[in-house]
Chain A
Amino acid sequence: MSDQVLQIRGLCVDYGVGADAVRAVRDVDLTLHRGEALGLAGESGSGKSTLAYGLTRLLPPPGVVSGGQVIYHPADGPPVDVLTLSPAKLREFRWAETSIVFQGAMNSLNPVHKVSTQLLDVIRAHEPKSTAASRLARAKELLRLVGISADRLDSYPHQLSGGMRQRVMIAMALALEPQVVIMDEPTTALDVVMQRQILGQLAELRERLGFAVLFITHDLSLLVEFSDRIAIMYGGRIVEEAPAARLYAEPLHPYTEGLLHSFPALHGPRRELTGIPGSPLDLRAMPSGCAFHPRCPKAFDGCDEQVPVLGAPYVDDPARAVACRLHPAVAPLSR
Chain B
Amino acid sequence: MTLTESAPAPADEVVLEAVGLTKHFPVRRRLRDLLSRTPAVVHAVDDVSIELRRGRVTALVGESGSGKSTVARLLAQLYPRTGGDIRLHGRSTRVRGGRRFRAYVRRVQLILQDPFASLNPVHTVRYHLTRSLRIHGNAGTGPDGLDKALADLLTRVSLTPPERYLDAFPHELSGGQRQRVAIARALGADPEVLLADEPVSMLDVSIRLGVLNLLQDLKDRLDLAILYITHDIASARYFADETIVMYAGRMVEGGDSETVTQRPAHPYTRLLIESAPDPERITGAGGDGAAAGERGHGEPPSLIRPPSGCRFHPRCPAAMPRCATDLPPPIPVDDAPGHWAACWLFDAETVTAEKAENAGQAGTETAR
- In the bound assembly, the distance between CA atoms of A196 and B276 in angstroms comes to 8
Question: Would you call B207 and A280 a contact (CB within 8 A)?
Answer: yes
Q: Of A248, A264, A268, A276, which is in contact with the most chain B CB atoms at under 10 Å from its CB?
A: A264
Question: Would you call A258 and B206 a contact (CB within 8 A)?
Answer: yes
Q: Of B237, B280, B292, which is in contact with the most chain A CB atoms at under 10 Å from its CB?
A: B280
Question: Would you call A273 and B206 a contact (CB within 8 A)?
Answer: no
Question: Would you call B276 and A192 a contact (CB within 8 A)?
Answer: yes
Question: Would you call B207 and A270 a contact (CB within 8 A)?
Answer: no
Question: Would you call B204 and A222 a contact (CB within 8 A)?
Answer: no
Which DSSP category, helix, strand, loop or mixed, fits chain B's interface? helix
Question: Would you call A224 and B282 a contact (CB within 8 A)?
Answer: yes
Q: Tally chain B residues at the interface, Cβ within 8 Å.
A: 45
Question: Would you call B276 and A273 a contact (CB within 8 A)?
Answer: no
Selecting from A22-30, A47-55, A76-84, A213-221, the interface stretch reads A213-221
Q: A43-B204, A279-B174, A279-B177 are in contact. Are A225 and B209 (CB under 8 A)?
A: no
Out of A191, A248, A259, A274, which one reaches B283, CB within 8 Å?
Answer: A248
Out of B63, B206, B287, which one reaches A192, CB within 8 Å?
Answer: B63
CB distance from B13 to the nearest CB of A (A): 26
- In the bound assembly, the distance between CA atoms of A161 and B299 in angstroms comes to 9
Question: Would you call B209 and A274 a contact (CB within 8 A)?
Answer: yes
Out of B205, B272, B283, B285, which one reaches A220, CB within 8 Å?
Answer: B205
A191: B residues at CB distance < 8 A: 63-64, 231
Q: Does B95 contact A (CB under 8 A)?
A: no
Q: A266-B276, A266-B278 are in contact. Are A280 and B261 (CB under 8 A)?
A: no
B281: A residues at CB distance < 8 A: 225
- In the bound assembly, the distance between CA atoms of A200 and B293 in angstroms comes to 13
A112: B residues at CB distance < 8 A: none
Kindly report which residue of chain B lies nearest to residue A163, judged by CB atoms. Answer: B299
Question: Would you call B204 and A44 a contact (CB within 8 A)?
Answer: yes
B176: A residues at CB distance < 8 A: 279-280
- In the bound assembly, the distance between CA atoms of A197 and B177 in angstroms comes to 35
18 pairs, CB–CB < 8 Å, chain A vs chain B: A200-B292, A218-B204, A218-B205, A220-B205, A225-B279, A245-B283, A248-B279, A260-B279, A262-B208, A263-B205, A267-B262, A267-B278, A270-B258, A275-B206, A275-B210, A280-B204, A280-B206, A280-B207
